[in-house]
Amino acid sequence: MTDSLRLKIENLPDSPGCYLMKSGGQIIYVGKAKNLKNRVRQYFHESRSHTPKVRAMVEKIDDFDVVLVDGELEALILECNLIKLHKPWYNILLKDDKHYPYIRVDMSEPFPTVDLTRRSAKDGAKYFGPFMSATVVREMLDVVRTVFPIRTCSRVIGDGKVYRPCVHYEIGQCHAPCAGRISPEDYHEIMKRVMEFLGGNDQPVRAELTEKMREAALSLNYERAAVYRDRLAAVESVMQKQKAIVTGGGDQDVLAAIPCGDDAIVQIVMVRGGKMIGSESHVLERAGDEPPEEVLTSFMLQYYSEESMPPREILVSHLMEDADTLSQLLTERRGSKVAVTKPQRGEKRQMVEMAVKNAGDAALKREKQLTNSRLRTIGALEELQEALGLDVFPRRIEGYDISNTQGAQSVGSMVVMKGGRPANRDYRYFRIKTVEGANDFASIREVLLRRLRHGMEEREERIAQGLDPASGKFSDLPELILIDGGRGQLEAALSARDELGLNIPMFGLAKRLEEIVLPGEDQSILLDKHSPALHLIQRVRDEAHRFAISHHRSLRGAAALKSRLDDIPGVGPVRKKAILKHFETMEALEAASVEDICGVPGVSKHTAQVIYDFLRAPETAKKTETEEEKPCTTPKSTP
C-alpha cells in the first residue's frame, strides 16, 4: 500500500456517500456506504471473510475517490448513476438493455387506438405491460381488434374532414369514426371495455360473446353465430396462455437470485392484473460470490427505469438491509408507492418459491450449455492437441482453401478459430497473382507465403514500435494450420512454411474419409465420427470452403455483369444507365443508328458516333473477352 493511499484511508469522513475504487486511473468498482470511513477501511484490512473476487480487486486498487451525500437514498441514486456511467469491472452489471413492449391507450383522444410501444411515459396515456415479447402483444391486439370494433388506422380524425369507410367497416370490425358513423362518447364506452379486457378481466367479454352466439343460433343466423364463436375462441386462446394466479389481481414482479458458478442468475416473474404474463432469467457475470441481497439490489437498480417501470409490489427471495431506501427510489421512478417485500407465507410465498425453482432450472440449463460449449471448443482443442501430438495448445487455428472455375478468378481463403470459436474479423481472402490455370498446389503455396511473410514483417514492426505483436491484422501467427485437401496440398503449404523458416504445425483434411493427413506420415489418422475434435476441424474446413466459394461467386457475378459499354471512351455510369434504359438490350443498341443513339438523354452526336463505331469494330468483341479473362488486381485489404 502506497503512502498516499494510506493517508487517504486515515482521513476518510464519517459520512454517507459513494466510493470509486481505481486502478491505473480507471474506475474498477463503485460502492455506497452509510459510513464511508468504516466501509472503505474494511477493504484494506486483512480478512479471511473477503471473497476471492474482493481480494483480487483490492490487490489492484492504487487509488480511490469519495463523493459525500446527505443520506442513504442519495447514496443509492448516485451509486446507480455511477455504475451505469462507468460500468466498472467488479460491479454487478446487467447487460440486457432491450425495451419490453407495452400496449398504449390514450383516452384523451376523441377516437383512441390501441398501439404497441417500446417505452412507457408519463403522458397521460394508459400502459398495459410490460409483455415478454412483441409477438405476445400482437396476438393480444389481434384478439382486441377482432372482438371490439375499434379503429386500426392512423387517420387524423376531428379536423372536420369526412373519409370514406374502409373494408374494416364493411366486415363489422370498425364503426367508422372517420366517416362520422359513431360519436366520441359511444366510442369511449367501447374503449372502456377494451381497457377492462386488457387489464385481465375477460369474463364480461366472454359472457357477452356467448349470449350473442346463443341468440344468433336461436334465430337460425348460423353465419353470425359462427363469427361470435370464432371471437370467443380467440379470447379463450389468448387467455389460456396466461397462467391465472390469485394474488389480489394486482401488478407484481417476483424476483429470485441464486449463484451459478462464477455468475449469478436472477429470475423475474411478471404478474399483471393477477395473471402471470411471463418469466425470464438474467445472467449477472462475476456475481456468483456476492450475497443474493446485493445481487437483487444491483439488478433492480439497473433493470427498472423510465422504459421499464417497476410495478406496485416487488416480491424478493432475499430481503436487503436497505429495502426501505430502495423502495423510496423505485417509488420516485414510478411516481406512486412501490413496496419491496419478502413474503413469509401464503400464496405470495409460493410465488417466490416458484421463481426460485425457475432460477434453479435456468442455472442448470446454463451449466449444461457451458459444459457443452466447452466440450465443443476447449475440450475439442485439447483432444486435437493430443491426437496430433502438439507441444503447444492450438489457441489459434487457421484454415485455407482455394476456389476457381477452370483456373479463372482464382481465390484463396483464410478463416480463423480462436479458442474453438470463429474469429470472423480475422478472416481474409487472397486473389491469386502468380498462378495461371487451375493449379491448387501452387495457389495454396502462394497464399501461405504471402500470409506468413506479411505476418512476420508486421510482427517485427510492432515489436520495434513497442506494440503488442499479437494485436495486428496478420502478426498473430497460428499455432496450427489446416489445409483443405490431401497430401499434395499439404506438401505445397509445407514448402511455403519451410521457405520462411517457420515451424508451425500443419495438417490436411481429406474429404473422402475425413482423414487427417500429417507431414511425413504415410498413415493417416481417422478420428471417431462423434469426436469433438473431428467436428471442430470439420467446421474449420467447411468455413474455409464456404468463405472461398462465396467470394469467388461474387467475383464471377461482377465479371458477368460487365458491359461492353464500360470500355467505350466517354461513357460513364450515368450515360451507361441512360443508354441501357433507352434501348433495354445490347442487341437493340447494336442495331441502332447514330441518330437513334442521339435520342438518348445526355448523349451528344459525337458520343453517339463513338458508340456506333466502337460496337461495330471487329476487334471489340475479342478485346473485351481477353480483358475479362485476365485476373483482377488484388484488393488493398489483402497482402
CATH code where residue 13 lies: 3.40.1440.10
By mean pLDDT, which of 353-357, 403-407, 515-519 is the weakest? Answer: 403-407
Say if 92 falls within a structural domain: no
Give me the pLDDT at residue 639, please.
43
pLDDT tens digits, one per residue of 337-349: 999 999 998 888 8
pLDDT band, very low/low/confident/very high, at 351 (cuts 50, 70, 90)? confident
CA distances from 462 to 431, 469, 476, 477, 502 (A): 26, 5, 11, 13, 19
Highest-confidence segment of 209-213, 233-237, 633-637: 209-213
Tell me, yes or no, whether 170 and 116 share the same domain: yes
C-alpha cell at 630: 485476365
- Quote the pLDDT of residue 247: 41
Report DSSP state, residue 176.
-
Residues 590 and 566 in one domain: yes
340 and 316 in a single domain? The answer is yes
Q: What's the confidence (pLDDT) of residue 48?
A: 67
Residue 187: closest CA among 214, 158, 166, 210: 158
235 with 256, same domain: the answer is no
Under the banding of pLDDT at 50, 70 and 90, the label for residue 445 is: very high
What range defines the domain where residue 258 resides? 252-374
pLDDT at 286 over 80: yes
CA distance 108 to 350: 40
**Is position 16 within any domain?**
yes
Residues 137 and 176 in one domain: yes
Helix (DSSP H) and strand (DSSP E) numbers for the chain: 21, 19
What's the pLDDT band for 244 if we cut at 50, 70, 90?
very low
pLDDT of residue 615: 80
The percent of residues in the chain predicted with pLDDT above 70, rounded, is 88
Query: 224 pLDDT exceeds 60?
Result: yes
pLDDT value, residue 103? 84
Statement to judge: residues 553 and 567 lie in one domain:
no
Query: Which position has the higher pLDDT, 630 or 99?
Result: 99
- Kindly report the CATH number assigned to the domain that includes residue 485: 3.30.420.340
Q: What is the pLDDT of residue 500?
A: 92
For the cut 80, the answer to whether the pLDDT of residue 454 exceeds it is: yes
Q: How many other β-carbons are positioned within 10 Å of the β-carbon of residue 460? A: 12
From CA 235, how far away is CA 239, in angstroms rounded? 6
410 with 463, same domain: the answer is: yes
pLDDT in tens, 139-174: 778 778 777 888 888 888 876 778 888 888 888 888
- How, if at all, do strands 63-68 and 114-117 pair? unpaired
Is position 639 within any domain?
no
- Asked if residue 637 belongs to a domain, the reply is no
Does the structure show a pLDDT above 50 at 631? no
- List all residues 6 or more positions away from 236 whose beta carbon is below 8 Å from its beta carbon: 206
One domain, residues 152 and 235: yes
Q: How many CA atoms lie within 13 A of 370 on its CB side?
A: 11
The whole-number pLDDT of residue 98 equals 56
In a domain, 550, yes or no: yes
CA distance linking residue 265 with residue 280, whole number of Å: 10
CATH number for the domain that contains residue 612? 1.10.150.20
Domain contains 97: no
Return all residues near 223 (Cβ < 8 A) that are at least 6 apart: none
Same domain for 302 and 234: no
Bridge partners of 422, per DSSP, are 417
In a domain, residue 380? The reply is no
Whether 581 shows a pLDDT value over 60: the answer reads yes
Question: Based on the domain organization, do 434 and 481 belong to the same domain?
Answer: yes
Which strands form 275-284's sheet, in the order they lie side by side? Answer: 243-244, 275-284, 263-272, 252-260, 313-316, 339-341
In a domain, 402, yes or no: yes
Domains in the chain, number: 5
Domain boundary among 316, 340, 374: 374
At residue 272, the pLDDT reads 74
Which of 209, 244, 279 is where one domain is finished? 244
Final residue before a domain boundary, out of 199, 215, 244: 244
Q: Are 434 and 548 contained in the same domain?
A: yes
Are 72 and 124 contained in the same domain? Answer: no
On average, the pLDDT of the chain sits at: 82
Confidence of residue 319 (pLDDT cuts 50, 70, 90): very high
Joined together, the cell numbers standing for residue 268 give 423475474
Q: What percent of the chain has pLDDT over 90?
A: 21
What is the reported pLDDT for 276?
65
Using only C-alpha atoms, the chain has a radius of gyration, in whole angstroms, of 35
Helix (H) or strand (E) holding 256: strand 252-260
Of 33-47, 71-85, 230-244, the least confident: 230-244
Lowest mean pLDDT among 153-157, 331-335, 420-424: 153-157
Choose between 634 and 281: higher pLDDT. Answer: 281
**Cα dist from 120 to 308, 334, 524, whole Å:** 7, 11, 64
Which three-class secondary structure state does DSSP give residue 368?
Answer: helix
Q: For 175-184, 489-498, 569-578, which range has the lowest pLDDT when averaged over its residues?
A: 569-578
